[in-house]
Structure formats: C-alpha cells, structure tokens
Structure 1
Amino acid sequence: MKLASTRLIAANMHTMVAFYERLTGHSAEWLAPQFAEIVTSSATLAIGSAETVAIFAEGSAEPCANRTVIIEFMVDDVDAAVERMKGSAMLVHEAKLLPWGNRSAQFRDPEGTLVSLFTPTTAAAKARFSPR
C-alpha cells in the first residue's frame, strides 16, 4: 500500500491553493476547476472544492471543520519559513524546540487547518528523517 495524498476540502479553492503554493514554493496542478494537487518530493497535498464531496458521499466531509489533523512540512530553516508566512496566515505559536528534537512553529491555513513547519535539530531527529 502507498499513501498517495492528503486531501483538504475547501470552501474557497483559490485562497487555499494560493496559501499552500506560497507555503511550499510549488505550483499547483489544476486537474479540474474544483480539484488541484501540489506535488512535493515527499508527498502530495490535494485540495478539492466542497462540491466534490457529493461525488463520494454527501455530507461526508466539510470545509473549515478540521480540528484533528496537523499537516506537517519539514523545512530547511523553520525560522526563515515563519518569517515568510507571517502576515499571510494566523500564527498559532512561534518556533520552539519540541521534546522529540524538532524545532517547530504552527499556523492555521485560511480555513483553519493546523499547519506545522519544522526542522529536525537534534542528532536523533536528523537521523530519523535522513532515510525519508
């Protein structure tokens, strides 16, 4: 089995896609007016409009309702990434060292999903991510 992507359901496709393009530095590929993907070297973030939910099962997902998932992006310099994103996203917490060795900061995307930017800083954290 291979995890193919994480998909967000968006109330405002263009705002969400623009946010993640800025965050990742990657352009989205629009596969349809209501569906786009941002492909990075390690993962794909898919963004679908609210109208796509009916294709699967009406009411099975809804935009602006997520409080259980944190989308995490490993970056070379978390402090520089935080500076780049300030003003374009709600900062939840400034960069700080976490007990498992990552220096991490968190934002909310335009529809409220928690987004973590982190840099492995300890030897153990760097080793954990080296094969990924």
Structure 2
Amino acid sequence: MQLASIRILTTDLPRLVQFYEQATGLPATHYTPDFAELPTPAATLAIGSLRTAELFGGAHMAAAANRSVIIEFYVADVDAAYERIAGLPGPDVVQVPTTMPWGNRSLLFRDPDGNLVNFFMPVTPAAQQRFSRQQTA
C-alpha cells in the first residue's frame, strides 16, 4: 500500500492553491475550477472546493475545521523555507525552525485556512538514516 494524496477542502480554492504554490515552489495542475493538485515524488497534495465534497455525500464535511492533522513536506533547507514563508501573506508561523528531539529540523505554520503545515528536514545521523529507510521501503 502507498499513500497517494492528502486532500484539503476549502471555501477559497484559488487562494489556497496560490498559497501552496508560493510556499512550496511547486506548480499546481488545475483539473477543474473546483480541484487542483500539487504532485511531489512521494505523494500529492490535492485541494478541492467544498463542492467536491458533495460527490462524496459531503453534507457532514467542513472546510477549515481540521485541528488534528499536520501536512508535512520534506524540504532541502528549512531555514531557507522559513525566509520564503515569512514573505507570504497569510501564513501564521507557529514555530520557527527548531531542531526536534527526534532529529528533524522543523518549521510549523498554519496555511490561510488554518491547517497546520510542517516543513522539515532530518539533520541528525539517526533521523537521516530513518528517513532514507522510508524512501527505500
């Protein structure tokens, strides 16, 4: 089994897609006015309008209501990513780049919808080894 994507539902698709394009430097592919994707080598970040939730029987789904998931991106340089994020309108930085006890250097912020996002890179030998195992599994 392989994780294919994480999908964010939003009330403002153009704003959120533009934010993620600027934050990640990745171009989005717009399939419809209600759905776009930012593919990465490991998985895809999908962004859909609330109208797409209707296709899943979505009366119970709500945008910007998440408080338990962190969307994580492996980046080459967390500190450079912080400089890029700091210049964007909308993100609320929760934690400046910090080396975590498990060996990752992390930048935690909220996107314009309030979703938690972590840009991280493994910096200790143990974390680097752990991550390299994940890439080959």
Name the TM tier (shorter chain): over 0.9
Q: Determine the C-alpha separation between the residues in 1 that align with 2:108 and 2:30.
A: 27
Q: CA deviation at 1:59?
A: 2.3
* RMSD of aligned Cα (Å): 1.1
Q: Give aligned-pair identity as a percent.
A: 49
More helix by share: 2
Which aligned pairs between 1:28-107 and structure 2 lie closer than 5 A? Answer: 28-88=28-88, 89-107=91-109
* TM-score calculated relative to the size of structure 1: 0.95
Q: Determine the C-alpha separation between the residues in 2 that align with 1:2 and 1:125.
A: 21
Gaps of 5+ in 2: none
Number of matched pairs: 132
Tell me the SS of whatever aligns to 2:38: strand
2:130 matched to which residue of 1? 128
Q: CA deviation at 1:58?
A: 2.7
Q: Post-superposition, which runs of at least 4 consecutive aligned residues in structure 1 deviate over 4 A?
A: none
Letter aligned with residue 20 of structure 1: Y
Gaps of 5+ in 1: none
Q: Determine the C-alpha separation between the residues in 1 that align with 2:95 and 2:53.
A: 32
Encode CA deviations 1:33-53: one digit per residue, 9 max, x unaligned: 100010011110000001111
Q: CA deviation at 1:54?
A: 1.1
Q: CA deviation at 1:116?
A: 0.5
| 1:112 aligned onto 2:114 | yes
Tell me the SS of whatever aligns to 2:79: helix
Letter aligned with residue 97 of structure 1: T
